[in-house]
Amino acid sequence: MKLNERLAMKFILVGLLSMTIATLGCGHDDHDHDLNNEDPAEEACAHATDTPTAVSAAAQRADATASVSLGHTHYRVALVEDAETAGQFRGSVRYIAGAEADYAIFLSVDAPLAVFEADATTAVEIESSAGVDACVELARQHVVELKAGTYILELGPTSASHVSILIESLGGAHHH
């Protein structure tokens, strides 16, 4: 093979590789993740039918190690039976916010949710909570303003032993 032919072949291979990466690098689904044009509940509902990632919640807030931090990911959280109330479940998981923004936390059941800073004692105010009408897989949406950092999400008590959770960034945070 001549030098020019080898060089041309390298350009072709690099071009094909670039197109493959661009095509596959956008994720596993076939929709746009630009929330400026899509309702966050519709975005979460699109992922609520994905195969869930299973995680186990910690019984105590300070012991939470399981992470639910990947965006556009459906997590199925196994809760722990409440030691004091038979038939009631609760648990805590970690979430790492990548940027200061409002975040919508979607749950598959209408279970209580509390958000704490990484110290496990400082509560973060939930700005709003509402039912989800966009799909049957999700029941509740909670909106919370977070700074970049680690948080603990406390679920329950609830009669459900598992709760699905999806978290969508709503973009820039608004300030009060």
How far, in Å, are 58, 64, 72 from residue 53 at the CA level?
A: 16, 17, 11
pLDDT at 71: 84
SS3 154: strand
Residue 153's contacts (CB-CB under 8 Å, 6 or more residues apart) are: 64, 68, 92, 93, 94, 95, 105, 113, 114, 115, 116, 165
CATH of domain 40-172: 2.60.120.380
Going by the DSSP 8-state scheme, the letter that residue 67 receives in this structure is B
Q: What are the extents of the domains in the chain?
A: 1-30, 40-172
Tens digit of pLDDT at every position of the chain (176 positions): 565 665 555 545 444 444 433 333 334 444 444 445 568 788 888 878 777 889 999 999 999 999 999 988 999 999 999 988 899 999 999 999 999 999 999 999 999 999 999 999 999 999 999 999 889 889 999 999 999 999 999 999 999 999 999 999 988 654 43
Whether the CB-CB separation of 172 and 110 falls below 8 Å is answered with: no
Tell me the DSSP string of 87-129. Answer: T-EEEEEEEEESSSEEEEEEESS---EEEEETTSSSEE-EEEE
